[in-house]
Each structure stands twice: as C-alpha cells, then as structure tokens.
Amino acid sequence: MKDSIKIYLLMILTTIFWAGAFIAAKLSSPYIPVFTLTFLRFSLATIILYFIIKIKDKKVYKPTKKDIPAFLFTGIIGMFGYHIFFFSSVKYTTAINSSIIGASNPIITTILCVIFLKEKVNYKRIFGIILSFIGVFLTITNAKIETIKNISLNKGDILMLVAVLLWSIYMVYSKKISKNYTPITLIFYSFLVCTLFLIPFVLYETPLKYVSTIPYYSYIAIIYMSIFPSVIGYLIQQMSIKEIGPGKTSVFNNLVPVFSIILSILILGETITVIKLFTTALIISGVYICQKN
C-alpha cells in the first residue's frame, strides 16, 4: 500500500513536469524545428540515462536478439510514432481538438487493458475517467457554448487519434513486458531507438542554419525537457505502469491541464477564472475516484 501511495505522489510530480514541458515548448519551438527539437530532447535524455545506469548498475544491459523486437516496438510505436503523428496532427487541427482527443487516452488505454491484459474495471473507475474527461473538456473549451459548437473533425484529428492510440498501445505493451526489464532499461532503449529514427527527419530540417538565431533560454528549455519530463517523467511512468497498471497510470495525464494552468499563472502571468477552478476540481475528483480502491 505504501508503495502505491509513493507511486501516486510521484505520478502527480510527473504531471507537473509534463505541464512544465508545455511552457518549455513555448520558449523553444518558435526557434527550433519540431523534429530537431524532439531529437535534441531525446538524444540528451538518452545520454543522461546512460550515465545514470553506469553509475547505478556499473554496466548497461546488453540486449540479445529476443530483446530487439521489444525495444524497437516501444521506441518506434511509443516514442517515435507518437511524436510523428502528434506533430503532424498539429498542422491540420486546433489546439482545442488535439487536447480533447489527447484527454481520451485513459479511456482508450482502459479498453486495451480489458482486451489484452484481462483487467477488470468497476463502475467507480469508469465514472472517474468520464468525470476527469469532462473536466478536461470544459477546461480546454472554457465551458463556452460557442467554442463547443464550433468544434469540428478534420484530418488532423484523425492523426491525433492515431497518436493517442499508439501511446495507449505503448503503455499496455510496456506492462506486458515489464517483468523482463527494469524501468530504466526499457526507457533507455526506447529513447535510443527514437533518437536513431529521428535522424533522417533532422537532416531534412537542416537545423544548422537556425543555430545563430536560437536564444539561450531555448537551450535551457531543451535541458529541462530532457531531464524532467523525459528522464524523470518517463521513468516514473514506467514504474507506475509496473506497479498500478497502464489504465490507472494513464488517468494522471488529465492532471496536466491543471498544472499547466497553475504554471501559466505563475510563469506567464495568465489569469484564473471561476470556471477554471470548477473544472480543475472535476479533473482532480475524477483522478482520485479512479485511483481509490
């Protein structure tokens, strides 16, 4: 029980790191092409993880032939695939649409858990997922009827749905193979595969011509994204998947808008409204109900 409480607290910390990634992205994405930005984030994270493993375990796990399919799957589907479809979707859809579809991740993950992991889901958990989703939906649309009425599906929404589906598959598959690897080993090789697959996209973007125009705070933002949302965040997420399962872990994603609001107020000087406070309460209540046995 104590281990579960520890995981819950660590996952809350992780959602704060992921919310901070949106702020960091705002400080870096205007100056660095998306694939180059992703490459820098994951390549640096891979290097950091390598030295952590060397210090902690003295040696890096050497994959055998039977390990390669697992690492290729998590690296290509979960890391590379998700980011490719996510960045592609942003070109064709709105931030509201992509955020709402992203909030469906706990629903899709739970369905996959029932199908592939034979996980049992009670009505309380279903209610919690729906409640947190409604909270995210109202937060993103600011509970405005005009905004809700103007939501329409497009090509980008389909791409975003594929991205969410890939991420859910990655989480369920991670649970399935978690008994074979430590969380840090699985994350290290997932990052490594993602980094290698990003190289052709980076070469296409010819990032060297942007170097002179990149401000110093963009590099700080990349370092932040590499250490906190990537190394620490994904490592905690893998620990959580192993401990409480992908379904319950995925619900924590809905806390990201809550902490994004808080960080935007503190860092960017944005204002809070009564509606945001109400929707925040809905999200937190939904996440709590999902985790409560």
Percent of the chain clearing pLDDT 90 (strictly above): 51
Does the structure show a pLDDT above 70 at 1?
Answer: no
Number of structural domains found in the chain = 1
Residue span of the structural domain in which 208 resides: 2-291
Q: What is the mean pLDDT of residues 190-196?
A: 97
Q: What's the pLDDT tens digit per position in 27-57? A: 887 888 888 988 999 999 999 999 999 998 8
Q: What is the mean pLDDT of residues 248-258?
A: 88
Look at the alpha carbons of 217, 219, 222, 224 in this order and tell me if their dihedral is positive or negative: negative
Q: What's the pLDDT tens digit per position in 120-171? A: 888 888 999 999 999 888 888 877 888 777 777 788 889 889 999 999 999 9
Task: Tell me the average pLDDT of the chain.
Answer: 88
Does the structure show a pLDDT above 70 at 268?
Answer: no
- Predicted TM-score (pTM) of the model is 0.87
- In 3D space, the residue among 56, 61, 75 whose CA is nearest the CA of residue 174 turns out to be 75
Cα diameter, the chain: 58
Q: What is the mean pLDDT of residues 267-292?
A: 82
